Amino acid sequence: MSTHAALYLEIAEDLRENEDQWRAYESGGDCVILAGPGSGKTKTITLKIARLLAEDVRRPRRIACITYSNACAGELQSRLAKLGVEDDGRVALSTVHSFCLTELVSPYAAMAGIAIPDPLKVATPAQSRELFKQAYQQSIGGNPSSSFRMSCDKLRRTIVDRDSQEWRQWVFRETQVVEAYEALLLENGVIDFDGLVLVGLQLVENNKWVRNAVLAKYPVVVIDEYQDLGLPLHRIVLALRAAGIRIFAVGDPDQSIYGFTGAQPGLLRALSQMPGVEVTTLKLNYRCADNIIAASKALLPEPGDFRSHDGRKGEIRIHRLESGVRQQADYSLSSLIPAMLEANPSWVPGDIALLYRSLNEGTSIAKSADAIGQRYFRLDNGSPIKRTRLTGWLTEAAQWCAGGWQTGKVTLAHLLKLWRRLFRAPASNAEQLATRRKLIRVLFAQRDGAQPLRQWLLALQEGILKETLACEPGLADEVDNFANLISGTAPGAPLAAFTVEIFGNQGKSPDQLNLMTIHSSKGLEFQAVIMLGLEEGEFPSGYDKSESQLLEAARLFYVGVTRAKSQVHLIYDCKESPFLSAIRESV
């Protein structure tokens, strides 16, 4: 028996103590896992993948694992590596966009006669914005609002059949602009990320030979965070399942918070109710204390039967301050957080998160922290450091250059593996070797943690990134992200004083508080959570009017509360949110 096989078998024994996890691990066919917050779903998924590789899927066949975000993909990859499942080509771990690009569109679209750019090139966000603007001007005149663009993007993800009655009866302004935009994409020789998924759907639904080709390569497809992935992926899954591919889907409808992008929590429930699908609900919560679980359940119309695994009580406190978010942040930073740290000597600032709903609130909180010199890690659209695939690699490369190459905290082998996962465009062995050598030369030349971040980024751009980003269709969005990161290091910009070492420690330094939107906090956990701006009319906001919008706002509040292990502090001004009222009645 291999070391890898022995390791997964040893760790899997822990699942026997949780009958729900063990049932999912033992499942023999299509399976849906309904996994609440802190339920150990990532451990269950990775052990299941390790078992499938050892017992069911024989080389050269592989397992495809699709998830919502690059952060989720990175977490799964890290957990698999700890089980001994290294990046040896047996698991294709990707977002839905990457899966459609590399496994469907790139190999099969031309053979199926679908019109796509040749050579295949994905539009950068800047290109996409410009072409959408042109489509709007041609169709309507003037310039589109951000809300109109969001509505059109959601439309493309929710009504995928352009010859359907539903499409024809939709708002003509929106369908007209979408059709003009898609035509402009093709005329300019590019496709956008949503287009990749739509072409992928067309391929698997309309071509049996494509489904058979995917089956031959991937007898099992695992989907994580299913509730966030939307209708096109759901229909791709149904088509692959009908072709004989085994489906292992994991998610939580109660944590579906991306309705504005087209996510539909009912899709996971629909999959779970199909004949032949085994359903398991993970009911034990390994993260939250009992009072936090009780408070979170008060937010849901039909809460699940979740309970703490260890009986900790935890603490829920509601604070009324007759002041705005800036003053609420001042109170949190000057009084609440110091008291929490004093009462819990083992805690550090990195164990605490301040959560909010909007960019403007984040800016107010950041100003409050800046005023007293409190270090923080900020995760929202106001931060010049985005949570992207490339940024994740860059921060680890910065740790290596800042001394990790000596301490072994980050190894060169690890960086090279991450690089290979990023840059997956077809290349000969000779080309891959040449790129690898160039990357190693650049990294060795930049081993200085005290070096200004701007100087380091520009050296990587000229030495390796400009050329490689131009050749990788799946990283089109990273071109703009990297340019924005460099802009953030200009004189007077937020990162102007950053060194390589400071950059490498972003989000990892224990003396940094965490400032983030609730959407950005999904998948993370902290000892304590402070939620600010919880007034009536703000959460839910005045824009949340329909039943579906109000339900999603409640799920968003639920996600925020369930990030906490031990303490939740809820702050409002004058009249409290109805969600706060529901929690007050539960504790």
**Residues of the binding site:** 35-42
410 contacts 396 by C-beta, under 8 angstroms: yes
452: three-class secondary structure by DSSP: strand
Alpha-carbon gap, residue 539 to 548, rounded angstroms? 15
Beta strands in 235-311 (DSSP E): 246-251, 278-282, 284-285, 307-308
Q: How many residues does the chain have?
A: 587
Enter the DSSP assignment of 281. E
Q: Residue 571's closest CA among 365, 380, 288?
A: 365
Going by C-beta distance under 8 Å and a sequence separation of 6 or more, which residues neighbour residue 172? none
- What DSSP assignment string belongs to 229-298? SHHHHHHHHHHHHHTT-EEEEEE-GGG---GGGT--THHHHHHHTSTT-EEEEE-EESSS-HHHHHHHHT
Alpha-carbon gap, residue 393 to 397, rounded angstroms? 6
Q: Residue 124's closest CA among 483, 392, 427, 520?
A: 483
496: three-class secondary structure by DSSP: coil
- In single-letter form, the type of residue at position 349 comes to P
Would the CA dihedral through 463, 467, 473, 479 be positive or negative?
positive
212: three-class secondary structure by DSSP: helix
Q: Residue 155's closest CA among 146, 141, 166?
A: 166
Residue 171 phi, psi (nearest 5): -55, 120
Binding positions for ATP: 35-42
Cα angle 82, 85, 90; round to 5: 155
Three-class secondary structure assignment of 308-350:
ECCCCCCEEEEEECCCCHHHHHHHHHHHHHHHHHHHCCCCCHH
Residue 516 phi, psi (nearest 5): -160, 155
Q: Which two tokens stand for residue 283?
A: 């009911």
